[in-house]
């Protein structure tokens, strides 16, 4: 398999996963914002910070209000991680690898891109937002299902799995980070404290994890348990540990895999070995997530160097 | 209501399917009878089925417009063009003869240049040739073949004679559409295939693979073959990807390839570097190797020429083949056939006046209102003067151009291209067409049974290019004796 082609299907999967997760995040924040009392509005800018693109936001906007933040996350083309940019990039990647994936994959991605482009206005407004985002998430899931069910599980598919799960691990860790600041030691008289439960529920919801949490954790929603669930739960497919296990399995099937394999196993060990309540007690959760994201980026770098890098001459 | 062949009148042109209103050519009788048996609704249903099949099969071509690439559905007319097998056998022989002579000529140009020494052709044609590559001097590609894949454009004049209009020896395209047109037609008119003997065309990808394998530098191994494309932005990308898939070859871009210190060509794969034996390149000479040609080319592979020269990789078509793809040199093809093969040309050239020749130039200048004037090295119909349709001012401008740079201009009589019945919005109408058969030359020579028929869909138009409103038809070579 050509390196260039491998790289394109890998990015196809990453961008689709990114679009889906960004849509999920905006949706859950949107829902919880409807529950918050008018006197304590949510800070939408936190959501932008989660994506790591807040400096680009600051270049383009002065007001950090809901409208600007949602527009930045869903529509803006100068935000390379916005839902629209991600779908556009995914479309370009599938367009150039049409021979490798089932032909319906191109149709799904192309139609999704056109849908997002033509209906973006309803996504930006409060009234049509829920429907718009649900549609984006569902269509992303359709693609994932199509590829899992109709594509030979060959190296091309391994790269798709790799991209999807690495992006998922990264995005879920960012979600944990949203909650992390709520767990910091706060002044005794913090009036927003009673609303923590709402926020954690929304974070779980954004990963479709609320029901799974209820079924498997069986305790009332609290920060420590939610972080533990999203970080370390093995059966839950959107948990970091589960996604990394998938990354590892995909890497194991690929040739010349020593370096990336070593790295991903190391990250998995760190994730599984983390003592969540200690991290929280010692105010080190954000720091931990930060390191985790750097390690995930390291796995990506090793994947690029091993299989995609084109400048390595004969 | 169904098709009434008595009310279809192609006059004054030669029609491919009928001799006169109501009187089909013998070879087309079964087809015309079958078409008359369908009522209007049924015919429309078949047309829609074809449109649907084209979308579903993803047959498209790319148009670049407003900064974006748009894939357009391939324009296709469901009514096939029919040629009798007996006539086609002569055409095939003529095309083999022609490409054999052209390859002998290219090999001669880059080596001994006997044809100039023997004064069969004047040497000045080389001096001003845009596609002569001095980097190719002294090279002997396998089997003496340079142009392995040739697409020659044939046109039929009003008296029914087929002429070669031009030979495309650089990167001729269209063969994938020829194959797909047949697939679509089989879906739309399966009944006709049952009752007539239509020669199959689908061995082309196998023949192409075999021809490419025949120029592998490692004949003992299963060859690693790659199709080199400029990328998704190229208008023929569909074809590049189609051929790679049908041959089971890799579709590569310049950046996927690297030439090693051992002068071999490698692909960058997830397994590491893998050697490539033969490259079917679909990029022009100029962009192929920035070390030897255009240094700004991002599409090419540095060192590719070096690898080819040392015999470490097969290239089809060989660099420099385009030297014979020049309208002045075209005029000499009949002489080449005589000189190299000692034969008379089987398919005639369109009579061509060379403006560089004083007498002929005088004739051209006197008859500008009857002639088509073409620059020697352009393709795609650029910079042409169609005398009968031009204004006086345009004609006098061209007279100046010819006098200034006579080597660069040739003139030909205006042909009245043949027509065939075509399903248009107005119903069944005669439309002009041409034909591009494809010839493969390696150890052996193969000619497609038929080729790609291109139709000018606009009334009266002679422009058959798909980017300019041209369409296409399936082409049937029918064995009447079978």
pLDDT in the model for residue A290: 92
**Domain match, A161 and A308 both:** yes
* Domain residue limits at A241: 152-314
Flag whether residue B90 sits within 8 Å of chain A, measured between CB atoms. no
DSSP codes, A210-260: HHHHHHHH-S---HHHHHHHHHH-SS-TTSHHHHHHHHHHHHHTSSS-HHH
pLDDT of B174 over the 80 cut: yes
The fold of B218-312 is Rossmann fold (3.40.50)
To the nearest whole angstrom, how far is the Cα of A256 from the nearest Cα of chain B? 7
**A259, A222: one domain:** yes
- Residues near A259 by Cβ (< 8 Å), separated by ≥ 6? A302, A305, A306
How many angstroms separate the CA atoms of B99 and B92, rounded? 11
A313 and A164 in one domain?
Answer: yes
State the DSSP string of A124-155. Answer: HSHHHHHHHHHHHHHHHHHHHHHHHHHS--SH
For the cut 80, the answer to whether the pLDDT of residue B466 exceeds it is: no
ipTM value of the model? 0.81
Q: What value does the mean pLDDT take over residues B257-267?
A: 96
**What residues of chain B lie within 8 A of the CB of A314, using their CB?**
258-262, 264, 266, 273
DSSP letter for each residue of B171-222 = S---HHHHHHHHHHHHHH-HHHHHHS-BPP-TTHHHHHHHHHHTT-S-TTSP
The partner residues of B453 in beta bridges, in order of sequence, read: B435, B473
Q: Do B145 and B340 touch, CB atoms closer than 8 A?
A: no
- Domain stop point among A95, A116, A150: A150
Last residue of a domain, one of A111, A134, A150: A150
Matching residue, tokens 């098709």? B3
The answer, for B274 touching chain A at a CB cutoff of 8 Å, is no
Q: Give alpha helix (H) positions in B316-391.
A: 327-331, 333-336, 358-366
Distance from CA of B281 to the nearest CA of A (A): 17
- Give contacts of A95 with chain B, Cβ < 8 Å: 232
* Of residues A95, A98, A255, nearest to B271 (C-beta): A255
Question: Under CATH, to which class is B353-413 assigned?
Answer: alpha beta
The helix/strand count (H/E) of chain B reads as: 15, 24
Q: Do A99 and B256 touch (CB under 8 A)?
A: no
Which whole number is the average pLDDT over B24-42? Answer: 93
Residues A310, A258 within the same domain: yes
pLDDT of residue A313: 47
* Residue at which a domain ends, from A125, A150, A175: A150
Q: Is pLDDT above 70 for B447?
A: yes
Answer yes or no: do A145 and A181 share one domain: no
The CA distance from A187 to the nearest CA of chain B, in Å, is 54
Contacts with B, A 291-310, CB within 8 Å? 307, 310
Cβ neighbours of B108 (radius 10 Å): 19
- Of B59, B119, B134, residue with least CA distance to B293: B134
Which residue, among B261, B268, B275, B313, would best test binding to A if mutated, counting the most A CBs under 10 Å from its CB? B268
Cα distances (angstroms) measured from residue A261 to each of A244, A249, B254: 11, 9, 30
* A140 and A228 both lie in a single domain: no
Range in B203-207, B234-238, B477-481 with the lowest mean pLDDT: B234-238
Of residues B251, B266, B269, nearest to A314 (C-beta): B266
> Which residues from A are below 8 Å from B59, CB to CB?
none
B262/A256 Cβ within 8 A: no
Query: Which of 168-197 (B) contact A at CB < 8 A?
Result: none
Do A306 and A198 fall into the same domain? Answer: yes
Of A95, A307, A314, the CB nearest to B270: A307
The DSSP line for B247-293 is: HT-EEE-GGGEEE-TTS-EEEEETTEEEEE-EEEE-S-HHHH-TTTS
In chain B, where the domains are located: 218-312, 353-413
Which stretches of chain A are DSSP H helices? 3-35, 45-51, 54-60, 66-74, 83-95, 103-124, 126-150, 155-180, 196-206, 210-217, 223-232, 240-252, 258-273, 276-281, 285-303
Q: Nearest 10 degrees: CA dihedral of A143, A146, A147, A149?
A: 150
**Residue A313: its chain B contacts at CB < 8 A?**
258, 260
Cβ of B262 under 8 Å from any chain A Cβ?
yes
Q: Is A219 part of the contact surface with chain B (CB cutoff 8 Å)? A: no
What percent of chain B is predicted at pLDDT more than 90?
Answer: 74
3-class DSSP assignment, residue B42: helix
Sign of CA dihedral A33, A38, A43, A44: positive
Same domain, A145 and A56: yes
Residues 6 or more apart whose Cβ sits within 8 Å of residue A52 = A81, A174
Digit-coded pLDDT (tens) for B347-360: 999 999 999 889 99
- Helix B175-188 to helix B40-57 angle, to the nearest 10 degrees? 140
| CB-closest option in A4, A96, A99 to B256 | A4
According to DSSP, the residues that pair with A202 across neighbouring strands are none
Task: Indicate if A134 and A48 belong to the same structural domain.
Answer: yes
Beta-bridge partners for B164 = B154, B349
Contact A255 B270 (CB under 8 A): yes
Q: In terms of domains, do A114 and A205 share one? A: no
Residue A166 and residue A290 in one domain: yes
CB-nearest to B270 from A95, A254, A310 is A254
Query: Two tokens at B173?
Result: 């395209």
Q: Do A172 and A29 sit in the same domain of this protein?
A: no
DSSP sequence for B388-433:
GGS-HHHHHHHHHHHHH-GGGEEEEE-----EEEEEETTEEEEEEE
Judged by CB atoms closer than 8 Å, whether chains meet at B252 and A2 is answered as yes
The string of pLDDT tens digits covering residues A158-215 is 999 999 999 999 999 988 887 776 665 566 666 666 777 888 888 888 888 888 888 8
- Coil, helix or strand for B349? strand
Provide, as residue numbers in chain A, all residues whose Cβ is less than 8 Å from the Cβ of B279. none
* Residue pair A106/A95 in contact by the 8 Å Cβ criterion: yes
Residue A314's pLDDT is what? 42
3-state class percentages of chain B: helix first, strand second, coil last, to nearest 5:
35, 25, 40
Written as tens digits, the pLDDT of chain A (314 aa) is 999 999 999 999 999 999 999 999 899 888 888 887 777 777 888 889 888 898 999 999 999 999 999 999 999 999 999 999 999 999 999 988 887 888 889 889 999 999 999 999 999 999 999 999 999 999 999 999 999 999 999 999 999 999 999 999 999 998 888 777 666 556 666 666 677 788 888 888 888 888 888 888 878 888 889 999 999 999 999 999 999 999 999 999 999 999 999 999 999 999 999 999 999 888 889 899 999 999 999 999 999 999 998 655 44
Number of domains in chain A: 2
């Amino acid at each position: 398999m050509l390196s260039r082609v491998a790289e394109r299907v890998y990015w196809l999967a990453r961008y689709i996963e990114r679009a889906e997760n960004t849509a999920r995040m905006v949706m859950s924040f949107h829902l919880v914002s409807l529950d918050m009392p008018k006197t304590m509005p949510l800070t939408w800018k936190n959501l932008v910070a989660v994506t790591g693109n807040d400096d680009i936001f600051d270049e383009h906007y002065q007001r950090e209000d809901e409208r600007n933040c949602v527009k930045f996350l869903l529509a803006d083309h100068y935000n390379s991680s916005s839902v629209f940019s991600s779908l556009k990039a995914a479309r370009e990647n599938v367009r150039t690898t049409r021979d490798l994936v089932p032909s319906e994959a191109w149709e799904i991605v192309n139609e999704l891109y056109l849908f997002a482009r033509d209906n973006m206005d309803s996504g930006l407004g409060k009234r049509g937002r829920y429907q718009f985002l649900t549609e984006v998430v569902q269509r992303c899931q359709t693609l994932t299902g199509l590829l899992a069910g109709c594509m030979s599980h060959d190296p091309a598919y391994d790269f798709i799995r790799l991209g999807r799960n690495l992006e998922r691990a990264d995005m879920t860790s960012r979600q944990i980070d949203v909650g992390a600041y709520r767990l910091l030691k706060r002044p005794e008289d913090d009036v927003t404290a009673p609303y923590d439960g709402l926020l954690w529920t929304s974070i779980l919801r954004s990963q479709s994890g609320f029901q799974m949490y209820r079924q498997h954790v069986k305790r009332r929603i609290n920060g420590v348990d939610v972080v533990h669930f999203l970080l370390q739960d093995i059966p839950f497919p959107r948990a970091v540990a589960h996604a990394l296990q998938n990354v590892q399995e995909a890497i194991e099937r690929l040739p010349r895999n020593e370096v990336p394999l070593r790295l991903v196993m190391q990250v998995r060990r760190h994730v599984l070995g983390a003592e969540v309540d200690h991290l929280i007690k010692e105010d080190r959760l954000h720091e931990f997530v930060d390191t985790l994201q750097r390690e995930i980026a390291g796995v990506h770098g090793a994947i690029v160097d091993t299989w995609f890098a084109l400048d390595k001459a004969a | 209501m169904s098709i009434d062949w008595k009310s279809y009148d192609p006059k004054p042109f030669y029609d491919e399917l009928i001799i006169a209103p109501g009187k089909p050519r013998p070879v087309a009788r079964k087809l015309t009878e079958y078409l008359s048996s369908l009522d209007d609704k049924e015919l429309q249903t078949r047309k829609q089925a074809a449109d649907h099949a084209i979308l579903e099969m993803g047959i498209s071509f790319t148009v670049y417009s407003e900064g974006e690439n748009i894939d357009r559905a391939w324009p296709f007319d469901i009514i096939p063009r029919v040629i009798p097998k007996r006539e086609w056998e002569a055409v095939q022989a003529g095309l083999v003869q022609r490409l054999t002579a052209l390859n002998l000529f290219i090999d001669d140009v880059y080596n001994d240049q006997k044809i100039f020494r023997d004064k069969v052709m004047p040497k000045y044609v080389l001096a001003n040739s845009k596609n002569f590559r001095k980097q190719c001097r002294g090279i002997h590609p396998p089997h003496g073949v340079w142009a392995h894949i040739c697409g020659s454009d044939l046109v039929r004049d009003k008296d029914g004679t087929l002429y070669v209009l031009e030979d495309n020896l650089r990167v001729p395209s269209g063969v994938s559409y020829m194959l797909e047109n047949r697939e679509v037609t089989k879906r739309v008119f399966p009944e006709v295939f049952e009752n007539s003997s239509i020669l199959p065309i689908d061995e082309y990808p196998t023949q192409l693979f075999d021809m490419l394998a025949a120029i592998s530098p490692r004949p003992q191994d299963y060859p690693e073959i790659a199709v080199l494309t400029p990328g998704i932005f190229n208008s023929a990308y569909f074809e590049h990807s189609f051929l790679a898939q049908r041959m089971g070859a890799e579709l590569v871009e310049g950046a996927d390839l690297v030439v090693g210190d051992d002068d071999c060509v490698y692909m960058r794969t997830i397994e590491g570097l893998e050697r490539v034996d033969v490259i079917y390149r679909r990029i022009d000479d100029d962009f192929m190797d920035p070390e030897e040609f255009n240094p700004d080319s991002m599409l090419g592979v540095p060192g590719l020429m070096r690898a080819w020269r040392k015999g470490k990789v097969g290239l089809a078509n060989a660099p420099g083949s385009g030297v014979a793809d020049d309208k002045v040199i075209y005029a000499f093809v009949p002489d080449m056939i005589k000189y190299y093969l000692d034969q008379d040309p089987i398919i005639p050239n369109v009579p061509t006046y060379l403006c560089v020749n004083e007498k002929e130039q005088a004739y051209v200048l006197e008859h500008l209102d009857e002639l088509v004037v073409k620059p020697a090295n352009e393709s795609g119909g650029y910079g042409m003067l169609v005398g009968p349709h031009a204004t006086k001012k345009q004609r006098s401008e061209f007279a100046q151009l010819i006098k200034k740079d006579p080597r660069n201009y040739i003139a030909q009589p205006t042909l009245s291209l043949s027509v065939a019945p075509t399903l248009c919005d107005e119903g069944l109408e005669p439309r002009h067409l041409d034909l591009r058969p494809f010839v493969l030359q390696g150890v052996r020579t193969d000619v497609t049974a038929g080729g790609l028929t291109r139709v000018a869909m606009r009334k009266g138009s002679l422009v058959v290019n798909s980017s300019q409103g041209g369409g296409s038809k399936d082409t049937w070579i029918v064995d009447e004796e079978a």
